């Protein structure tokens, strides 16, 4: 291994593990073609970390979906790069091993968050009593607003705007005993926000070792869908970490006699370069690391607490799947025959039209966590195949919301006099800048989110969509303005949003109509009408601005 440092050898610590996968199978979201890649990560680490052939009382793995039912419905879950050999982490043959470990707990979706928190508190106490390292693994979607992680689903409700139960930093902090060694492993979007924190915020500051799959303003990503049957096989960061640890395991034996052992910081460096080697789907690796008490030079295993006995053998014991390559992600030239699924033909045609517009707008990587399922459904709908389950009503709301705030981003950029062109023609992933500029962009991005320059999605409008925020943040960085001038621009953008809301309230008959359940649950369906209203709105807003 290239990145090793002098460090005294260290005995593997006793480790207590609690893990949770927040993804449910609501609307088929546990499918390997949608959000199942989180489950691939979950079952990969379950296989690698569980003791061989014996049950254990020091590990608890929480999920809200029975593995038997997942296998019956989806057959198998894979892990690894589709261009290389992948491994099966869950299928019919894996079920006896999962049961033998006796550490998997299946919890009702609505109870998963509370069960995780109570279990975390209990395991933290036991780790303190028995002088153990506590390893906490959390797999799930992230919340842009709070850096929280979505865990399970709410109980059935007549309201479609109830928010998914969300795990926040303060919840974890309250349940961790002080002064115990803790490692957090997070795969969610924006999870770097758990590690990149000011020490002055006592409510949220976590003094832990940590690995986060994305930066505070970045999205985590799975491997691209496979060419064979269009499955996503786990996360790129999980693959990079496992490969790096296997490399270390192989090199330790050769270098033992000269007592050279990799430190935690060298492992972090290795993972970063592994992600770079993965190519176009990890151009800018955003994996974040933190070291408890800033002990970066400690032996990597003492810092992480990962149980790494025979890691390579365990990985290779999984059934292999030959390479298939990546699914062609080009937008098909023809809509083809309509798949026989849900939704009216009229809405299906509108969704195909809106979907083409959306997919042509550089909406972000297909394998980004908030995009994977929606982009796969759109491609399946547009090319007329049944490759992915398509939920027309849900997908229509998601696409309409995203197009709506893209149009708003163009409106705001023009209003602020920013010379950047249209958001529909701009690819934020292609923006190249120095570390200093990127830090300013991230600061502006957080300011735009906190000030609600654009509406965040309601529950039925899908996961957060960051492109409009990122587009404006880049435009403001490139404007060359001083920070106080940038803050002034953001205040004007907030004022524009408020004027837009007041104008629409008056136009639509006030609060009575805005609060109407039908309008609330389908408000994005008015996007085409909103375009027509745009000219009238701009005229009205210009008059208001001139008068102010």
Give the model confidence (pLDDT) of 128-158 as tens digits: 999 998 999 999 999 888 889 999 987 654 4
- Going by C-alpha positions, the residue among 304, 276, 274 that lies closest to residue 290 is 304
DSSP 285-297: ---EEE-GGG-TT
**CB 176 within 8 Å of CB 128:** no
Picking from 304, 177, 293, 202, the residue whose alpha carbon sits closest to that of residue 244 is 304
Q: Distances in Å between the alpha carbon of 133 and those of 58, 79, 129, 248, 504?
A: 11, 27, 11, 21, 55
Q: Regarding predicted confidence, which is higher, 268 or 364?
A: 364
Q: Which of 272-276, 450-454, 484-488 has the lowest mean pLDDT?
A: 272-276
Contacts of 469-472 spanning 24+ positions with Cβ under 8 A: 469/445, 470/217, 470/428, 470/441, 470/445, 471/409, 471/413, 471/420, 471/423, 471/426, 471/428, 472/409, 472/412, 472/413, 472/418, 472/444, 472/448
To the question of pTM greater than 0.75 for the whole model, the response is no
pLDDT tens-place string over residues 272-308: 666 666 654 444 556 666 666 555 445 545 544 455 5
Q: Give the domain ranges of the chain.
A: 13-234+276-295, 345-547
Q: What is the pLDDT of residues 219-272, one digit of tens each?
A: 888 888 887 777 889 998 888 888 877 776 665 444 443 333 455 566 666 666
Tokens of 416: 């602020």
Distance CA 491, CA 405 (A): 18
Pairwise CA distance, residues 218 & 467, whole Å: 10
Beta bridge partner(s), residue 436: none
Tokens at residue 523, please?
């408000």
Using CA atoms, how far apart are residues 325 and 240, in angstroms rounded to an integer? Answer: 18
Provide CB contacts within 8 A for 494, sequence distance 6+.
451, 452, 453
Place of tokens 């500029």: 437
Indicate if the pLDDT at residue 530 is higher than 90. Answer: no
CA contacts within 13 A on the Cβ side of 259: 4
Q: Is the pLDDT of residue 12 over 60?
A: no
Phi, psi of 133, deg, nearest 5: -85, 135
Whole-number pLDDT of residue 14 = 82
Tokens of 315: 């990985």
Contact 412, 496 (CB under 8 A): yes
Whole-angstrom Cα distance, residue 121 to residue 12?
24
- Are residues 206 and 184 in contact, defined by beta-carbon separation less than 8 angstroms? yes
The rounded distance, in Å, linking the Cα atoms of 205 and 191 is: 14
The residues that bridge with 443 in the sheet, in sequence order, are none
Of residues 300, 182, 282, the one with CA closest to residue 237 = 282
435's enclosing H/E stretch is helix 435-450
What band does 210 get if pLDDT is binned at 50, 70 and 90?
Answer: confident
Pairing of strands 149-150, 166-167: antiparallel
Q: Report the pLDDT averaged over residues 178-186.
A: 87
Higher pLDDT, 263 or 492: 492
């Amino acid at each position: 291994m290239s990145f090793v440092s002098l460090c005294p050898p260290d005995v593997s610590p006793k480790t207590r593990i609690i893990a949770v996968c927040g993804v449910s199978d609501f609307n088929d979201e546990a499918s390997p073609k949608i959000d199942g890649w989180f489950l691939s990560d979950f079952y990969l680490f379950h296989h690698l970390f569980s003791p061989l052939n014996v049950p254990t009382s020091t590990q608890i793995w929480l999920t809200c979906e029975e593995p038997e039912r997942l296998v019956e419905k989806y057959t198998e879950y894979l892990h690894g790069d589709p261009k290389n050999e992948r491994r099966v982490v869950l299928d019919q043959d894996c079920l006896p091993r999962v049961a033998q470990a006796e550490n998997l707990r299946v919890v009702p979706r609505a109870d998963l968050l509370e069960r995780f928190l109570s279990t975390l508190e209990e395991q933290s106490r036991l780790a303190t009593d028995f002088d153990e390292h506590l390893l906490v693994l959390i797999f799930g979607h992230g919340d842009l607003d709070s850096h929280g992680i979505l865990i399970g689903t709410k109980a059935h409700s007549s309201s479609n705007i109830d928010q998914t139960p969300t795990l926040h930093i303060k919840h974890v902090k309250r349940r961790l005993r002080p002064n115990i060694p803790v490692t957090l492993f997070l795969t969610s979007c924006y999870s770097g926000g758990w590690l990149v924190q000011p020490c002055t915020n006592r409510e949220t500051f976590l003094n832990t070792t940590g690995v986060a799959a994305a930066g505070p303003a970045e999205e985590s990503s799975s491997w691209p869908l496979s060419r064979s049957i269009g499955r996503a096989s786990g996360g790129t960061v999980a693959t990079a970490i496992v490969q790096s640890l296997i490399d270390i395991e192989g090199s330790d034996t050769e270098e033992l006699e000269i007592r050279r052992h990799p430190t935690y910081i060298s492992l972090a460096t290795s993972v970063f370069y592994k992600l770079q080697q993965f190519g176009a789907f990890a151009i800018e690796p955003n994996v974040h690391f933190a070291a408890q008490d800033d002990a970066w030079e400690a032996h990597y295993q003492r810092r992480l607490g990962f149980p790494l006995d025979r890691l390579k053998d365990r990985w290779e014991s999984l059934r292999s799947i030959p390479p298939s390559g990546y699914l062609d992600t080009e937008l098909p030239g023809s809509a083809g025959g309509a798949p026989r699924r849900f939704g009216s033909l009229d809405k299906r045609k509108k969704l195909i039209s809106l979907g083409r517009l959306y997919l042509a707008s550089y909406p972000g990587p297909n394998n980004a966590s908030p995009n994977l399922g929606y982009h796969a459904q759109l491609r399946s709908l547009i090319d007329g195949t049944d490759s992915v389950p398509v939920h027309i009503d849900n997908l229509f709301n998601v696409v309409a919301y995203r197009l709506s705030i893209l149009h708003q981003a163009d409106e705001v950029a023009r209003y602020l006099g920013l010379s950047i062109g249209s958001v529909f023609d701009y690819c934020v992933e292609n923006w190249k800048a120095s570390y200093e500029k990127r830090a300013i962009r991230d600061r502006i991005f957080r300011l735009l989110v906190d000030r609600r320059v654009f509406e965040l999605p309601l529950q039925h409008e899908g996961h957060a969509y960051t492109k409009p925020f990122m587009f404006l943040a880049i435009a403001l960085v490139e404007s060359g303005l001083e920070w106080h001038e940038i803050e002034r621009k953001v205040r004007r953008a907030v004022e524009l949003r408020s004027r837009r809301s007041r104008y629409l309230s008056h136009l639509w008959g006030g609060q009575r109509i805005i609060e109407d359940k039908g309008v609330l649950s389908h408000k994005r369906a008015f996007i085409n009408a909103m375009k027509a209203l745009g000219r009238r709105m701009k005229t009205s807003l210009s008059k208001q601005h001139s008068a102010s």
